[in-house]
């Protein structure tokens, strides 16, 4: 008995050490605004700094800002501008406590303690030292763990932790939070069916979830309908267009798919054991684990950044820690722990291929940098959180002209504005490349119609080979009609325009000229209109492909009057929002020329919607539209 007690004490100590090692390092991040290289290098630093700016300026999520990250997204970015260090400290303590309970239960339940310790240790090395964009998925797994604990014993404080984690997740990143709420509903239903919870207690838990979400919305300045609708639209648009279509990362994606299939096979083993042992209520937890793995894989595939592939290796395996292994007998537990270790080790071999994810550095960062963590806490008030103004200086004459008047920036370089101390008042979808759907483009347009900023710092650019005018094209047309050229300068080797609002603001007047039906891969005559909207629909194979993996590739091929052919990436949602056809605008200088006299520019003769016909319906409805 004493030996068992000593063993458990040692396991608890080991769990605590590893839980502490899963602190977020560093305590805060310092953003560096790039002063060289392509424009997209400022994408991440811009949205990260904007989340802190929105939080400290009490913007209303769902109205002033529309994004998948919520007001607690600051816990992911860890920028810290204007934010109390105690918010981060308290959250980190909470994270360590959750990790401790999860790791302790995992180690104590193991038959082979050495294998279990090795498995957890390897997981700590695979996880990013700063959880970053995966923080919401970690918090979501915490809620899954407490759901499993409550299955064994429906204690109120277990459910309190389930709900608290889900609400945190909901306001860190909405898409992960919504997934968690769906599974909470499934969990309560399962508990009721198998009579492991009373109806009254289930109602109390559901009511507690709703109440905390409403209280959070009040405290964090969230318009819930706009917050949910906007995030849904961004996810919908993301699913259609944000994917890597290069062959550079084929091997990496292949490794992710292998790991996903292997983990899915373990889920199937769980299903088999649960059915054989007639523990049917446990099937819900297997579905929850698989749902987590699948959605994490979708994120890795659709984030359009190779580093998100690597994150799958670190965060997919934490489903092993959720407690689902307790559904089998001791012999089966031992076998499954061995399988868990094999897959974690397999993940480490995969990660070892990439020079920027070195395992030895992960070991050093996780277990030997805690001193830096406390040093940053001590010096928090003196640390410069943003460090880019010296790299991207706006000329004094431009700063004097703008003064304290409101200003927006295109296409995404918001940190440029924030670090130079200007009065940043952006459109709700504050980065143009994110306005993937008609709804998102419409709310940006309506913002400009009702509350246009006095100035715009404009740079004409897009990512992933898209036609830049199509990103936020309604606002681009509005700008051309209601703003004038005020100044220009060069920054980061790119021309920037300063545009000033006209005295009188006039809305765009839409004039639909005609509607035709055409087909995929067939040239569509432009007929001298400014824009067209195309309704391209997935067939069953296309819908399945879009749900299970990356969406089918869609392009627009545009031919001008000189027979020059230009290919641009598009999507079903972007085509529905509209294609700009009036002129070919290729640069920031070209945008200025279009504002002054568009007749000096090339026109398009035809546009072709290029796609694989096996994924789409045969006919495409096209509406020709002009704007006055």
pLDDT reading at 499 higher than 90: yes
Evaluate if residue 611 carries a pLDDT over 80.
yes
Adjacency order of strands within the sheet including 604-611: 523-525, 604-611, 554-560, 565-570
- HSE-CB at 179 with a 13 A cutoff on CA atoms is 25
On the question of a cis peptide bond just before residue 217, with omega within 30 degrees of 0, the verdict is no
Question: CA–CA separation, 220 vs 63, rounded Å?
Answer: 13
Query: Nearest CA to 289 among 321, 259, 334?
Result: 321
Residue 240 contacts residue 259 (beta carbons within 8 Å): no
Alpha-carbon distance of 7 to 326, in angstroms, equals 19
Dist. CA 129–CA 115, nearest whole Å: 23
Residues 387-419: tens digit of each pLDDT: 666 677 888 999 999 999 999 999 988 888 888
Place of tokens 């103004």: 389
Distance CA 579, CA 532 (A): 5
Contact 241, 436 (CB under 8 A): yes
pLDDT surpassing 90 at residue 342: no
- pLDDT value, residue 168: 95
Does residue 118 carry a pLDDT above 70?
yes
Cβ count within 10 A of residue 40: 15
Report d(CA 362, CA 513) in Å as an integer: 60
pLDDT single digits (tens) 263-296: 888 888 888 888 887 878 888 888 888 888 888 8
Find out whether 293 and 266 touch, Cβ atoms under 8 Å: no
Q: Can you tell me the mean pLDDT for 517-531?
A: 87
Q: How far is CA 153 from CA 104, 167, 478, in A?
A: 18, 22, 59
H-helix or E-strand containing 621? strand 619-627
Write down the pTM of the prediction. Answer: 0.90
Is residue 404 a contact partner of residue 455, using CB atoms and an 8 Å limit?
Answer: no
Q: Which two tokens mark 408?
A: 């927006």
Q: Please, what is the average pLDDT of the chain?
A: 85
pLDDT at 324: 58
User: Please, what sign has the CA dihedral across residues 226, 231, 237, 241?
Assistant: positive
Which strands, in side-by-side order, build the sheet including 406-410? 423-424, 406-410, 455-458, 494-501, 483-491
């Amino acid at each position: 008995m004493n030996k068992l007690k000593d063993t458990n004490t040692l396991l608890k100590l080991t769990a605590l050490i590893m839980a502490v090692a899963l602190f977020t390092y560093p305590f805060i991040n310092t953003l560096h605004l790039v002063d060289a290289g392509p424009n997209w290098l400022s994408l991440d630093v811009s949205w990260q700094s904007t989340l802190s700016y929105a939080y400290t300026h009490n913007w209303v999520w769902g109205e002033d800002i529309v994004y998948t990250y919520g007001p607690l997204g600051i816990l992911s970015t860890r920028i810290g501008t204007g934010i109390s260090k105690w918010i981060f400290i308290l959250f980190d303590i909470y994270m360590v406590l959750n990790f401790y309970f999860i790791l302790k239960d995992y180690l104590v339940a193991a038959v082979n303690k050495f294998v279990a310790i090795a498995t957890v240790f390897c997981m700590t090395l695979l996880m990013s030292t700063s959880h970053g964009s995966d923080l919401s998925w970690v918090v979501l797994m915490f809620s899954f763990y407490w759901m499993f604990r409550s299955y064994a014993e429906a204690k109120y404080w277990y459910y309190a932790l389930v709900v608290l984690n889900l609400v945190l997740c909901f306001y860190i990143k909405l898409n992960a939070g919504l997934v968690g709420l769906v599974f909470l509903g499934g969990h309560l239903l399962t508990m009721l069916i198998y009579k492991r919870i009373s109806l009254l207690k289930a109602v109390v838990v559901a009511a507690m979830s709703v109440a905390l979400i409403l209280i959070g919305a009040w405290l964090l300045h969230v318009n819930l309908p706009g917050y949910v609708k906007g995030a849904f639209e961004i996810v919908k648009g993301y699913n259609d267009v944000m994917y890597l279509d290069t062959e550079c990362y084929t091997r990496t994606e292949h490794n992710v798919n292998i790991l996903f299939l292997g983990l899915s096979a373990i889920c199937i083993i769980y299903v088999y054991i649960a059915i054989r042992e007639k523990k049917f209520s446990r099937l819900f937890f297997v579905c929850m684990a698989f749902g987590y793995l699948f959605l994490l894989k979708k994120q890795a595939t659709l984030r359009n950044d190779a580093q998100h592939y690597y994150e799958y290796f670190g965060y997919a395996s934490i489903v092993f820690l959720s407690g689902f292994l307790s559904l089998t007998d001791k012999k089966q537990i031992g076998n499954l722990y061995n399988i868990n270790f094999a897959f974690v080790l397999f993940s480490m071999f995969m990660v070892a291929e990439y020079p920027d994810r070195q395992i030895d550095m992960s070991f050093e960062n996780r277990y030997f940098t805690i001193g830096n963590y406390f040093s940053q806490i001590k010096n928090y008030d003196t640390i410069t959180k943003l460090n880019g103004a010296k790299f991207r200086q706006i000329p004094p004459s431009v700063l004097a002209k703008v003064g304290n008047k409101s200003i927006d920036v295109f296409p995404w370089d918001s940190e440029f504005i924030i670090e130079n101390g200007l009065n940043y008042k952006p459109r709700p979808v504050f980065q143009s490349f994110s306005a993937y759907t008609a709804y998102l483009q419409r709310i940006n347009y309506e913002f400009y119609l009702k509350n246009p900023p006095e100035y715009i710092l404009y740079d004409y650019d897009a990512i992933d080979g898209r036609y830049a005018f199509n990103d936020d094209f309604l606002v681009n047309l509005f700008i051309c009609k209601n703003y004038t050229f005020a100044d220009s300068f060069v920054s980061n080797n790119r021309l920037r325009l300063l545009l000033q609002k006209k005295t009188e603001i006039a809305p765009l007047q839409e004039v639909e000229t005609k509607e035709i039906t055409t087909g995929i891969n067939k040239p569509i005559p432009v007929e001298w209109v400014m824009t067209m909207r195309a309704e391209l629909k997935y067939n069953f194979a296309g819908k399945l492909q879009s749900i299970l993996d990356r969406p089918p590739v869609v392009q627009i091929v545009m031919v001008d009057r000189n027979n020059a052919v230009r290919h641009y990436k598009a999507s079903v949602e972007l085509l529905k929002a509209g294609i700009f056809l009036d002129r070919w605008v290729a640069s920031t200088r070209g945008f200025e020329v279009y504002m002054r006299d568009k007749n000096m520019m090339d026109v398009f003769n035809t546009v072709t919607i290029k796609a694989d016909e096996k994924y789409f319906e045969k006919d495409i409805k096209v509406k020709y539209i002009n704007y006055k």
